[in-house]
Amino acid sequence: MKKLFILLILSSVFFYSCKKDKKEIPTNATKLEFTSLAAEDTTLAINEYTKIHAIATGDELQYKWTFSGGAIVGSGKDVEWSVCHSDIFTISCEVVDKYDNKVSKSIKIYAK
């Protein structure tokens, strides 16, 4: 009987520790929406740059930028991107709110 009791306690601890903590979203939270991702220019000459703007709504947003080549300068919803060789590039932005909800968008920019 004692072994069964110890086994039940250990299993409870194991299952409780494996539960993932999910941030509870209050009813008055602003829903995360990623409305737009746009570049001023989508065709660039080598060594030119373009401004890229993300439009999103939600609570305490963070913007995470990734790109297949070139360089991004800045952070937040507005960045500048430039490239030093010709190709077709993908620039992506992931928006994360304070509840760990994530939404992403990508655009293509041509450098010639």
Distance CA 67, CA 77 (A): 15
Q: Is the pLDDT confidence value at 22 over 60?
A: no
pLDDT in tens, 63-109: 999 999 999 999 999 999 999 999 999 999 999 999 999 999 999 99
Residue 40 has pLDDT above 50, yes or no: yes
Q: How high is the pLDDT of residue 13?
A: 47
Q: What pLDDT is recorded for position 20?
A: 52
**pLDDT reported for residue 30:** 80
The residues, ordered by sequence, that sit 6+ positions from 40 with a Cβ below 8 Å of its Cβ are 50, 51, 52, 53
- Considering the entire predicted model, what is its pTM? 0.74
Q: Look at 107 and 1; give whichever has higher pLDDT.
A: 107
- DSSP structure string for 47-100: T-EEEEEEEEESSS-EEEEEESSSEEE--TTEEEEE-SS-EEEEEEEEEE-TT-
pLDDT of residue 26: 67
| pLDDT for the residue 108 | 97
Strands 62-67 and 87-96, bridge-based pairing:
antiparallel
Percent of the chain with pLDDT over 70: 75
